[in-house]
Amino acid sequence: MIKNRNEVLKIAFSAFFADLGYQAGIAAFPIIFVVIYHAPIPLYGLAESLNYGIGTFLAYVGGTLGDRIGRKRIAILGNSLITLIALMGLSRDYVQALIAFMLGWWFRNLRTPPRRAMMAEVTLPEDRSEAYGILHSLDIAGAMLSIVALVISLYLHLSIFIFMLFTALPLVVSTLILSTVKAGQNKFKKGSSAKRGRVFWTLIISTMFFGFSQYSFGFPIITTTQITGEDYLGILSYGVFLGSSSLFGYIFGRLRLNEYRGLAFLGYLVGAIASFGFAFLSGIGISSLYPLSFVMGVSVASTETFEPTIMSKLVGEESYGAGMGFLSVGRSVGIFIGNSVMGLLYQISYTHAYVFAAAMSLVSFLLILTLVYGRK
């Protein structure tokens, strides 16, 4: 039994309601931006790069400020401002849609490292794999329900813009739950004192390369929409991805696997396999696209469980926020560059784009293998 299980569940259910709100925005953004407002695909790639690029800076700022002035304060501030994503419902062109999504996404990045640090603060090292697995599982369960609601809405031909306005409600509930957590109040003067040795930097670099391959799932949504001709079927692929990720996040946490092997083989290698599948099997249709979305969900479940677990054991308590900030920076830098490259390659052929993603995931796999077989 996890010590402080109630606090773990509060953080996890706060994540559940947050994703119940903003994940619909993640799925709706490519539909609004590309399908409704007819922005070109390369511009979509650039837009996602802006989202993650500035988000990179804010992730580090959030983690460091959390260590210095209180993790709970920064987590609540960022979480409350994710509601800006709901303003996509008031947009009248793709520029307005981008601004609403981008601002909300930046504040989402601001709150993620201090929230992860709060989870490390309320758990013992031996419980963290399970705790982060629960966090990811409930996080993604909320996301999956959000996508199911959006798919039903689109299937019934309800306005996607009105739907987006209602996504603010669960985000308010999320912030209220987070405010009740009894953790994250401590302030540390040494927020940048993370032990940045070989293992630390290998983890950061590997998560950066996986960021090249963990493209915004908007690309598979667009691929599925283009192949099937139905926007709700495209968004449903995201639901499959999220359902798989939620299930396996819980499973990986409960199994208490070796974190390094789990990250390498179940995370990065499985991610490479999924991307190769999108490259060469997408033309088959739903019978390949949905299973590949499921496999990609397994990959992301592994990274979201094992990466923060490893980081929490590499740094001292006074640096939990900074360590998680570096982790978010590594991923965001990769996604920032990766989405731009994916957008350009996708314009030529989606096969080229997904092969690039698969190759980058294999680099991450090889980097972690050096830790699996090289650590003493």
**pLDDT tens digits, the chain, 376 residues: what are they?**
788 899 999 999 999 999 999 989 988 998 899 889 999 888 887 887 788 778 778 888 999 999 998 999 999 999 999 999 999 999 999 999 999 999 999 999 999 999 999 999 999 988 999 999 999 999 989 988 998 899 899 889 899 999 999 999 999 999 999 999 997 666 655 544 445 688 999 999 999 888 877 656 778 888 998 899 988 888 889 889 988 998 999 999 888 899 999 999 999 999 999 999 999 999 999 999 999 999 999 999 999 999 999 999 998 888 888 888 888 888 877 877 777 788 889 889 999 999 999 999 999 999 999 998 876 4
What pLDDT was estimated at residue 185? Answer: 66
CA–CA dist 156, 148 (Å, integer): 12
In the chain the domains, ranked by start, together with CATH numbers, are: 5-169+191-374 (1.20.1250.20)
Q: Are 77 and 127 in contact, with CB atoms under 8 Å apart?
A: no
Contact partners, residue 375, CB within 8 Å, separation at least 6 = 199, 260
> Torsions phi, psi of 5, nearest 5?
-60, -35
Tell me which DSSP letter residue 189 carries. S
What pLDDT was estimated at residue 193? Answer: 47
CA–CA dist 53, 72 (Å, integer): 24
Q: Are 245 and 304 in contact, with CB atoms under 8 Å apart?
A: yes
Identify which of 78, 97, 77 has the alpha carbon closest to the alpha carbon of residue 86: 97
What pLDDT was estimated at residue 187? Answer: 62
What pLDDT was estimated at residue 103? Answer: 95
Tokens 């209602």 belong to residue:
166
Positive or negative torsion for Cα 116, 81, 19, 91: negative
What pLDDT was estimated at residue 186? Answer: 63
Q: In terms of C-beta density within 10 A (0-12 exposed, 13-18 middle, 19 or more buried), how is residue 280 classed?
A: middle
What is the value of pTM for the model shown?
Answer: 0.81
CA–CA dist 248, 134 (Å, integer): 10
Look up residue 171 and give its two tokens.
């985000």
What residue type is 295 in one-letter code? Answer: V
